[in-house]
């Protein structure tokens, strides 16, 4: 039995919602799998009420579907939702990097170097879990460095609809190294104070998933709507 850590704040249902979303995004809970309130409650040592609340919250975000008299299933990956989320993310992060070219916090700049170095180490050992963690740290540092940390809060909610397909794209060191090079191009343009180049680099980076999506869908047709 696992337990829900409430030390970080939030209700049991909210903490459970985050844990289930993490499992869905990481593909520990596969698209199409049926979820049992009772089994989840037993696994995490909670009552069924917070489980029910967590599943309702996830259904509103379109990650699970609650079917009356039939139970709850993890929804399959929606390409339409992915494309919409990617578009909105591009709007936000393009604005972030343009602002970063005007002024950038030195402490955040150091965090970016640390994130890139950590990503390189993760890529060398083909550790996709660690790589995603440091990928996120890179983008968080961009937003913080540009003095708009709230931008990441919005992006974080959007990107979950892209993350399952992104998980399938991180197959080897080469695919991870490509993303590192794109990160380096973004921060290089910011260092040069070139907003047009920074925006172009960010837009190219965020369309990477669209370039590999046809192959992912071909290799995993059962995971997509």
- The residue extents of the domains of the chain are 12-74, 79-223
Q: What's the pLDDT tens digit per position in 101-117?
A: 999 999 999 999 999 99
Q: What's the pLDDT tens digit per position in 127-175?
A: 988 999 999 999 999 999 999 999 998 888 788 888 888 888 877 788 8
79-223 shares the fold of 12-74: no
**Does residue 159 contact residue 20 with C-beta atoms inside 8 Å?**
no
CATH class of 79-223: mainly alpha
Could you say which residues of the chain have pLDDT below 50?
1, 6-7
pTM of the model: 0.86
Domain 12-74 has CATH 1.20.1370.10: no
């Amino acid at each position: 039995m696992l337990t829900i850590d409430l030390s970080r704040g939030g209700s049991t249902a909210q903490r459970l919602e985050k844990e289930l979303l993490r499992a869905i995004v990481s593909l520990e809970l596969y698209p199409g799998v049926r979820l049992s309130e009772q089994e989840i409650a037993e696994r995490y040592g909670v009552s069924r009420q917070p489980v029910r609340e967590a599943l309702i919250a996830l259904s509103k975000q379109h990650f699970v579907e609650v079917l009356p008299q039939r139970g709850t299933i993890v929804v399959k990956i929606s390409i339409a939702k992915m494309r919409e989320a990617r578009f909105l993310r591009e709007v936000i992060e393009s604005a972030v990097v343009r602002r970063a070219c005007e002024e950038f916090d030195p402490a955040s700049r150091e965090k970016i170097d640390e994130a890139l170095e950590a990503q390189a180490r993760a890529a060398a050992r083909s550790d996709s879990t660690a790589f995603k963690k440091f990928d996120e740290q890179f983008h968080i540092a961009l937003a913080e460095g540009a003095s708009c940390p709230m931008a990441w809060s919005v992006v974080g909610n959007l990107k979950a609809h892209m993350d399952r397909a992104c998980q399938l794209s991180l197959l080897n060191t080469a695919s991870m190294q490509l993303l590192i090079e794109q990160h380096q191009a973004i921060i290089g343009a910011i260092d040069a104070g070139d907003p047009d180049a920074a925006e172009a680099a960010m837009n190219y980076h965020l369309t990477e998933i669209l370039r590999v999506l046809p192959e992912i869908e071909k290799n995993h047709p059962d995971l997509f709507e």
